[in-house]
Amino acid sequence: MEGRLTINLFLVSLYTAASTASEAGKVKVTVFYESLCPDSRNFIVNQLYPVWNELKHIIELDINAYGKTHEQKNGNESTFRCQHGPRECAANAMLTCAKKYVSDEQKLMDFTKCLMEMRRGILSATECARLAGVDLGDAARCHHTAEGATLQSEIGERQQQLDPRLDYVPWILINDVFTKSQLTAAQRNLRDVICTIYEGDCP
pLDDT digits (tens, 9 = 90+) for 139-158: 999 988 999 999 999 999 99
* Structural domains of the chain, count: 1
Vertex 62: Cα angle to 91 and 143 (nearest 5): 25
Does the pLDDT value for residue 12 go beyond 80?
A: no
Q: Is residue 202 part of a domain?
A: no
Name the 3-class secondary structure at 77.
strand
Q: Is residue 68 part of a domain?
A: yes
**Mean pLDDT of the region 104-125:** 94
Distance CA 45, CA 39 (A): 10
Contact 169, 67 (CB under 8 A): yes
**CATH number for position 20:** 3.40.30.10
Task: Read off the pLDDT of residues 43-89 as tens digits, 9 standing for 90 and up.
Answer: 999 999 999 999 999 999 999 999 999 998 877 778 889 999 999 99
Q: What per-residue confidence (pLDDT) applies to 103?
A: 94
Q: Is residue 203 part of a domain?
A: no
Question: What stretch of H or E contains 148?
Answer: helix 146-160
Domain that holds residue 129: 2-197
Does the pLDDT value for residue 21 go beyond 80?
A: no
Distance CA 185, CA 73 (A): 36
Distance CA 121, CA 34 (A): 10
CA distance readout (Å), 169 to 3, 35, 134, 135:
48, 10, 27, 29
Distance CA 105, CA 108 (A): 5
Residue 22 pLDDT level (bands cut at 50, 70, 90): very low
**Mean pLDDT of the region 89-102:** 96
Q: Is residue 186 part of a domain?
A: yes
